[in-house]
Chains A and B, each alone.
Chain A
Amino acid sequence: MNKIIYKEQLSKDVFLMRIDAPLIAEERQPGQFIILQTDDDYGERIPLTIADANIEEGSITIIFQVVGKTTTALSMMKTGDYLPAFVGPLGKPTHIKNFGHVVCVAGGIGAAPMHPIAEALKKAGNRVTIIIGSRTKDLLILENKMKNIADELIICTDDGSYGRRALVTEPLKELCERMEKPDMVIAIGPPVMMKFCSLTTKPYNVFTQVSLNTIMVDGTGMCGGCRVSINNETKFVCVDGPEFDGHQVDFDNMIARLNSYKNIEGQKQKCFVEKTFKAKEVVL
């Protein structure tokens, strides 16, 4: 049982929580994730990246977007509530060293897992350029935290409501076209964004690392539900990843597998929301 010790809403659908988890705080490294349940009898196990950790407080930070039943239920929990299942840190940590110049491209909620990685890269002596993008100004998160880390910060919005009106792949391409190409690109965000970032950097031969967010069940390598095709070899995101060479990832297969249960999940979220609001009406 892990207590929610702090909760904040970052935007319409995005929430931040600090969870009491001293062992995970001590062991975790950037790039790793946790798996949680809001109900450990019938609830689903969902992976969420660890956005930050505080060893003194014994807490870890998760930032999540409401996309389905479990994230909806999670967003309705309050400070002081307990999560019945909270396990981690899972996955291979990001390989951090001085690469030189690293461009970190974060799409939407991808800024959350990107933050600890960018921070670690900066600490390791890298020159860090950060591109953050979202559909609209309201969905941008962690701008200030990124500003504190970045040697250069580029903000894009699809609708131009803030920063540059562009998809993240445009400034990324410009950076690749400079005389001194980046030594490495890290892209984290929706699968289609990571796919196009990889396609953008490929002609320039810039190594591009992506962090895949597949469906998972156990998170420890025992079921293969999270498997992806990397250079025609099967790898498990939960134990071989979550980070892989973007140029080797079969994104189309990954996206198809990610959508395996779209119909059922849509239904479950709808039913849950209806049931919850009906119950609230009764109370009122």
Chain B
Amino acid sequence: MSYRSPEELSAKAKELIVEYVDKCDSLKPKERTQIPAQEMPTQDPFIRRTNLQEVAIGFSEEQAQIEAMRCLQCIKKNCVMDCPVNIDIPGFVNKIAHGDFEGAAQIIKQTTLLPAICGRVCPQETQCQLHCAVGRALKDVEKSVAIGRLERFIADWERKSGKRALPIIKPSTGKKVAVVGSGPAGLVVAADCKREGHHVTIFEAFHKLGGVLRYGIPEFRLPNDIIDHEIETLLQMGVEIKTNFVVGRTRKLIDLIEKDKYDAVFVGTGAGLPIFMGIEGENLVGVFSANEYLTRANLMRAFEKEKADTPIISSKKVAVLGGGNVAMDSARMAKRLGAEEVYVIYRRTEHEMPARKEEVAHAKEEGIEFRFLENAKRIIGDEHGCVTGIESVRFELGEPDESGRRRPIEIKNSEFIVEVDTVIVAIGNGSNPLISQTTPQIQVNKWGNVLVDATQKTSLDKVFAGGDIVLGAATVILAMGEGRRAAASINDMLAQQIESERALKNSYAL
């Protein structure tokens, strides 16, 4: 499909809307499925691979309305059920269709405080959009109603309008909640507990908030000012923030309860443990975990080479090992940092890649080369200990394994050399072990994931957990869903405590 500029798409939508605007409520389902699905305007691939500005620019108002009119307003709301936080999707989409953007914002905000983020990074095609009736009718999930893009549209519209809808906060309860980690799970817990009137403190190890949103997801997918805007909302709500505070080191978790008198603790410390392949040469100069590469580029701003003090390797040829969203982010960042050739090396085929199709498509447009059915066997270096290449080996696909994907089988004697000067290992992340190592009472499984019950409660009294620390590396929206559940459990627990304390006080008064 050839590239169409944002101006072109906007003009087309302006023409089209005239046809539909008065029929908004009277359109029949069949007519709705025939409304053209709106294409997301993007930066030109040749320009955008040299800058960090957002690739996806967002729908115009007309585009949003037209797209919203495609919704059939089904009685059985598959989309709501498939959303990890059960946003009232038909509700807000209907408002957009009628041009009531403020109304749509109100509906979204009842359930999620981070729509600008979810609208951008959620894998909607495997969640709310998966069973959309429109996509099913058109036999193509990519033709489902673009729920994510509509959510993003509303969030951006509200932010640009300068209005900030602060949620109502109940009177102060005197109870204190400690939130460890300021990633998506922690941010949601902070907001939900603050709304109930509890005092909330977020403890963040880094000097900037956001967790993986900040250090992991590049600006061209999730701009920093969006994260800053969401955090500003929390500050205005009265949440206390302590950066450069490593719970487990600066203060033991148990001391937050016993010495600092926090009534509840939420652990949202994430999947901050890089997984290496364990192959020869992995410690050569020029080999990075995706976490390190992205943290230097994003959080430490190494992309701005003139201003930032944190250096990042200057690469000509980069091999990214892995096939998920992190691999895509690493590859696209490497391209923007000036690499001439960037290879994504994956041992299965495109069909099995866990990365979002949209990310893969964008990566291809930006000139990243995909090498399937290959994997690195060892990394080769020179006499200075620096990477000069990788020895790769070819694979073929056999029977499916436990994940349901076809198992890659190495083809004997198929080794060959690929010349590179940089290798980025993006094969996954595990749960960061700092909290479990410094809090022996918290039980973890063999992969280091914190064990929780259905209410997100850990094995330690008053301590809850959620997000990647529980699930292993997953998604932003799943982390938020867990955060939501944990906050509800914390709020329930504290409400019961308050009630008991009141009853006790009353009994003394009698």
Q: Chain A residues in contact with chain B, CB under 8 A?
A: 23-24, 27, 37, 39-45, 69-70, 84-90, 217-218, 220-225, 227-229, 234, 239, 250, 252-253, 256-257, 259-261, 264-265, 268
Instruction: Give the docked Cα–Cα distance between A265 and B282 (Å).
Output: 24
Interface of B is mostly: loop
Q: Are B309 and A268 neighbours in the complex by a CB distance under 8 Å? A: yes
Instruction: Give the docked Cα–Cα distance between A39 and B276 (Å).
Output: 31
Q: Are A260 and B205 neighbours in the complex by a CB distance under 8 Å? A: no
Closest to B206 in A: A218
* Chain A residues near B296 (CB-CB < 8 A): 217
The verdict on B304 contacting chain A, using a C-beta distance below 8 Å, is yes
Most buried by B among A87, A252, A260: A87
State which of B60-68, B120-128, B246-254, B488-496 sits at the interface with chain A: B246-254
The verdict on B291 contacting chain A, using a C-beta distance below 8 Å, is yes
Q: Are B246 and A90 neighbours in the complex by a CB distance under 8 Å? A: yes
Closest to A264 in B: B311
The verdict on B301 contacting chain A, using a C-beta distance below 8 Å, is yes
Chain B residues 287-336 with CB under 8 Å of chain A are 288-289, 291-292, 295-296, 300-301, 304, 307-311, 313-314
Q: Are A45 and B310 neighbours in the complex by a CB distance under 8 Å? A: yes
Q: Are B285 and A85 neighbours in the complex by a CB distance under 8 Å? A: no
Q: Are B205 and A228 neighbours in the complex by a CB distance under 8 Å? A: no
Pick from B274, B278, B309: contact of A43, CB under 8 Å:
B309
The verdict on B351 contacting chain A, using a C-beta distance below 8 Å, is no
Q: How far is the CB of A22 from chain B (nearest CB, A)?
A: 11
- Using C-beta atoms within 8 Å of the partner chain, give the interface range for chain B: 35 or more
Instruction: Give the docked Cα–Cα distance between A222 and B311 (Å).
Output: 18
Q: Are B283 and A42 neighbours in the complex by a CB distance under 8 Å? A: no
Q: Are A42 and B205 neighbours in the complex by a CB distance under 8 Å? A: no
The verdict on B157 contacting chain A, using a C-beta distance below 8 Å, is no
Instruction: Give the docked Cα–Cα distance between A87 and B283 (Å).
Output: 27
* Chain A residues near B272 (CB-CB < 8 A): 218, 220-222
Most buried by B among A44, A89, A222, A228: A222
Q: How far is the CB of A277 from chain B (nearest CB, A)?
A: 18
* Given A220-B432, A234-B276, A260-B285, 7 more pairs with CB closer than 8 A: A23-B245, A27-B251, A42-B309, A218-B272, A221-B273, A223-B295, A228-B283
Q: Are A84 and B207 neighbours in the complex by a CB distance under 8 Å? A: yes
* Chain A residues near B310 (CB-CB < 8 A): 43-45, 217
The verdict on B243 contacting chain A, using a C-beta distance below 8 Å, is yes
Instruction: Give the docked Cα–Cα distance between A70 and B245 (Å).
Output: 21
Q: Are A257 and B301 neighbours in the complex by a CB distance under 8 Å? A: no
Instruction: Give the docked Cα–Cα distance between A220 and B435 (Å).
Output: 11
* Chain A residues near B85 (CB-CB < 8 A): none
Chain B residues 235-289 with CB under 8 Å of chain A are 243-246, 249-252, 272-274, 276, 278, 282-286, 288-289
Instruction: Give the docked Cα–Cα distance between A86 and B245 (Å).
Output: 9
The verdict on B139 contacting chain A, using a C-beta distance below 8 Å, is no
* Given known A-B contacts A27-B249, A234-B276, A256 and B384 have beta carbons under 8 A apart: yes
Q: How far is the CB of A274 from chain B (nearest CB, A)?
A: 14
* Chain B residues near A259 (CB-CB < 8 A): 285
Q: How far is the CB of B477 from chain A (nearest CB, A)?
A: 21
The verdict on B91 contacting chain A, using a C-beta distance below 8 Å, is no
Q: How far is the CB of A21 from chain B (nearest CB, A)?
A: 9
Instruction: Give the docked Cα–Cα distance between A229 and B287 (Å).
Output: 14
Instruction: Give the docked Cα–Cα distance between A42 and B296 (Å).
Output: 11
* Chain A residues near B309 (CB-CB < 8 A): 39, 42-44, 69-70, 268
Instruction: Give the docked Cα–Cα distance between A89 and B205 (Å).
Output: 11
Instruction: Give the docked Cα–Cα distance between A217 and B206 (Å).
Output: 10
* Given known A-B contacts A41-B301, A252-B385, A264-B311, A223 and B250 have beta carbons under 8 A apart: no
* Chain B residues near A43 (CB-CB < 8 A): 309-310
